[in-house]
């Protein structure tokens, strides 16, 4: 998985669909969000710089080789 820049704040999503803003720490390879425990990067389903609270980033279709698939 491509990762954000160290110290960058992005939207992350858990596999169960919960999503919120968090800051990436490259040294520990974790995301930190206010009021939440640190999340290991390998446990994050998706992350995005463009996320909005009313939009689920897992619904963005990827189009490899012209086919629509979920990423």
Q: Name which CATH class applies to 1-51.
A: mainly beta
* Whole-number pLDDT of residue 15: 73
pTM for the predicted model, two decimal places: 0.67
pLDDT tens-digit readout, 9-63: 999 987 777 788 999 999 999 999 888 889 999 998 889 988 655 555 555 555 4
* Whole-number pLDDT of residue 18: 79
Long-range pairs for 35-43 at CB < 8 Å and ≥24 separation? 39/12, 39/14, 41/1, 41/3, 42/1, 43/14, 43/15
Euclidean distance between CA atoms 39 and 13, whole angstroms? 10
Domain ranges of the chain: 1-51
Position 69 confidence tier, pLDDT thresholds 50, 70, 90: very low
* Whole-number pLDDT of residue 35: 85
Decide if 11 contacts 48 (C-beta within 8 A). yes
């Amino acid at each position: 998985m491509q990762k954000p820049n160290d110290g960058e704040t992005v939207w992350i999503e858990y596999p169960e669909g919960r999503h919120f803003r968090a800051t990436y720490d490259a040294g520990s390879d974790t995301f930190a969000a206010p009021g939440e425990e640190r999340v290991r990067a390998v446990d994050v389903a998706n992350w995005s710089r463009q996320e909005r609270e009313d939009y689920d980033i897992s619904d963005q279709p990827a189009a490899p080789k012209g086919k629509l698939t979920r990423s």
